Amino acid sequence: MNIKGLIFDCDGTLADTMPMHWQAWQVINRRYQLEFPEDRFYALGGVPSRDILRLLAREQGLELDPLAVAREKEAEYLKLMARVNPIPEVTAIVRANHGRRPMAVASGGARHVIEMVLRRLELRDHFQAVVTCEDVVRQKPAPDIYLEAARRIGVPPGLCRVYEDSETGLAGARAAGMTVVDVRELRRLSSAA
């Protein structure tokens, strides 16, 4: 198969941000007495914070404004931005393909946060498109974010390869008819070498 376009998730794929997101969630969990264990946080990777908060509020019978609390969570995360590091196995792929193939980011995060992460990693200019939770109605595991990313870089979905770190994201990319690379495996292979 001749891959023409590359699409990357951001958190946990391009950037080692998941531990910082978990720290921010712990602040929110304490503030609002939410039951949200770490294993569930990782299982919901790629799902926007506002959607996680809607789910938790419904399950736990809590009254809260998911959008406002999601903004609080983002603010807690942004305090930790200086600690964001790249995932070298993946960012090397981005750098090697810069100018050779169109590339996009497809992230369940908020646009301003994802843009900040990409600038911190000095990768923003490598991507022709950045598609976030704000650009599509249906979120991962729906294929919409990947289909929109493919559309924006002008590559048919079947000719795109997606790099992802979550089951939710991998399912969405497969549903879009794209080839997938599980970066968790890429990292395991790299650390075993």
Residue with tokens 């910082």: 20
List pLDDT tens digits, range 20-51.
999 999 999 999 999 999 999 988 887 889 99
List pLDDT tens digits, range 62-86.
999 999 999 999 999 999 988 999 9
E strands, 88-185, in order: 103-106, 129-131, 160-164, 179-182
Confidence of residue 188 (pLDDT cuts 50, 70, 90): confident
List C-alpha distances in Å: 180 to 20, 102, 160.
25, 16, 9
Q: Are 131 and 107 in contact (CB under 8 A)?
A: yes
Which domains are delineated in the chain? 5-16+84-192 (3.40.50.1000), 18-81 (1.10.150.240)
What 3-state DSSP class applies to 151?
helix
Q: What is the share, in percent, of the chain residues with pLDDT greater than 70?
A: 99
pLDDT at 179: 98
pLDDT at 190: 77
pLDDT at 1: 67
Tokens of 115: 């843009």
pLDDT at 105: 99
What is the value of pTM for the model shown? 0.86
Average model confidence (pLDDT) for the chain?
95
Instruction: Give ∠ CA 163-166-172 in degrees, rounded to 5.
Output: 70
**Side chain identity at 186, as an amino acid letter?**
L
Q: Is 9 a catalytic residue?
A: yes
Task: Spot the catalytic one: 9, 11, 144, 165.
Answer: 9
- Using the predicted structure, report yes or no on whether residue 163 has a pLDDT greater than 80: yes
Higher pLDDT, 126 or 83: 126
What 3-state DSSP class applies to 136?
coil
pLDDT average, residue stretch 89-93? 97
- Using the predicted structure, report yes or no on whether residue 193 has a pLDDT greater than 80: no
